[in-house]
Structures are given as C-alpha cells and as structure tokens.
C-alpha cells in the first residue's frame, strides 16, 4: 500500500536517496536540503511503500513583482523501481491539496505538459507568466483558488536556492 504523508524529522537521508536515484546528479537532492535549511521547503511530502520512502515532492515559495506568492513544485522524484504506478500523480495531487489547505492560490511547475496537464496545469505564458529559465510552454501554472492566479504578472521567481541548480 502506498502512503503519502508530510516529511518527518529523520526522513532527510531517505529523501536525499530517493531524489538522487531519480536524477542524473545530486543537484536536486542538494536543493531540497538547502530549501529546508533556509526554511523555504513549504511543503515536503513522501510516498511510502511497505515502510520505505520511494517518492518525494517539494513545494517552495515563488513570487512575482506584484507581491503575489505562489508555490513552485520542484523537484518531483519517484524511485525508478516504483515508476508508472501512479505514485508521482499521488504526490502531485496531495501536494496541490496541501497548497490549497495552506491558502496558496496558485502553483507553477517546469516540466512535461503532457504529464502535468492532467493535474490542472496549463502553459503559463498563455496567462502572462514567464519563468527565469526560458522554459516556454514547459513552464506551467495551476489555479488553486478562485481568481488565485496572478494573470499577466510577468516573471515568476523561484526561491534563491534554485540558483544552485545552474552552472
Ligand atoms: C516524473 C516521475 C516523478 C513520474 O513518476 P511516476 O510515479 O512514474 O508517475 P505516474 O505513475 O503518476 O505517471 C506515469 C505516467 O506519466 C507519464 N510520464 C511520466 N513522466 C513523464 C514525462 N517526463 N513526460 C511525459 N510523460 C511522463 C508516463 O508516461 C506515465 O504515463 P501513463 O500513465 O499514461 O503510462 C518519475 O518518472 C521520475 O522520478 N522521473 C525522474 C525525475 C523527473 O523527471 N522529475 C520531474 C521533473 S522535476
């Protein structure tokens, strides 16, 4: 059985391991540690199968010049041994639900539109939101509350810790 739950103290190493298993380098695992240390790991959920952590999703604050704050979904990781069983989707859905509960009105993600569109994400340039990385239509936004999306707000900035992914 798969359980989705918030991370707890003591999960840090297992979260590092599952993120590192899903990406070519440890950059994304390091990013999650940096966000946690900075107090900007707003939502951090793990997927547990038979007591083992096999998936993780992080959300951190994103901002636009008007001052509106949303949630940036990144990274999302499922261990290669447990893919295509819906765990990634469960993490996204529970994560977006946690954003709503926290009163966050919008979320963004940089990823494959064919995957994220099923969770309510739409290309963000279409609603006047752009990312810092030239993602184009891979940069997607989801409205989580009525009129929650800051339509036309322009550049969306991720937390400063994301600069560690560059270079
Ligand atoms: C992306 C990822 C989290 C999906 O996890 P998962 O548990 O396999 O996802 P689900 O089981 O919910 O969904 C799988 C479905 O999404 C599709 N899918 C997953 N990633 C996709 C991608 N990058 N592009 C297109 N489709 C994708 C699969 O083809 C599959 O489709 P199907 O259900 O029609 O067969 C996992 O593949 C992963 O960890 N990848 C490496 C890290 C990564 O790229 N993370 C996302 C960017 S931050």
Output the tens digit of pLDDT for each of the chain's 167 residues.
999 999 999 999 999 999 999 999 999 999 999 999 999 999 999 999 999 999 999 999 999 999 999 999 999 999 999 999 999 999 999 999 999 999 999 999 999 999 999 999 999 999 999 999 999 999 999 999 999 999 999 999 999 999 999 86
> Within a 10 A sphere around the Cβ of 35, how many other Cβ atoms?
25
Query: What number of residues does the chain have?
Result: 167
Residue nearest to ligand 1 atom 33, measured at CA = 84
Please count the structural domains in the chain.
1
* For the CA of 114, the nearest atom of ligand 1: 25
Residue nearest to ligand 1 atom 21, measured at CA = 115
* For the CA of 88, the nearest atom of ligand 1: 7
Sign of CA dihedral 19, 108, 92, 32: positive
- pLDDT of 85: 96
Q: Where are the alpha helices (DSSP H) in the chain?
A: 12-22, 27-38, 87-101, 113-116
Backbone angles phi, psi at 40, to 5 degrees: -115, 15
Does residue 115 line the site of ligand 1, with CB under 6 A? yes
* For the CA of 78, the nearest atom of ligand 1: 39
Nearest to 121 by CA among 107, 136, 103, 105: 107
Does residue 91 line the site of ligand 1, with CB under 6 A? no
- pLDDT of 133: 94
Entry pTM: 0.95
Domain range enclosing 10: 2-165
CATH no. for residue 102?
3.40.630.30
């Amino acid at each position: 059985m798969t359980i989705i739950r918030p991370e707890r103290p003591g999960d840090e190493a297992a979260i590092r391991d599952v993120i590192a298993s899903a990406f070519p380098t440890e950059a994304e695992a390091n990013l999650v540690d940096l966000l946690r240390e900075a107090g900007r790991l707003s939502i951090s959920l793990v997927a547990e199968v038979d007591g083992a952590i096999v998936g993780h999703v992080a959300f951190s604050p994103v901002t636009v010049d008007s001052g509106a704050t949303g949630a940036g979904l990144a990274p999302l990781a499922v261990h290669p041994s447990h893919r295509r069983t819906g765990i990634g989707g469960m993490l996204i859905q529970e994560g977006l639900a946690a954003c709503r509960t926290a009163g966050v009105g919008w979320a963004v993600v940089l990823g494959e539109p064919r995957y994220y569109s099923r969770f309510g994400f739409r290309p963000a340039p279409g609603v006047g939101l752009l990312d810092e990385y030239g993602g184009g239509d891979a940069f997607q936004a989801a409205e989580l509350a009525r009129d929650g999306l800051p339509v036309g707000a322009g550049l969306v900035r991720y937390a400063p810790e994301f600069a560690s992914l560059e270079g």
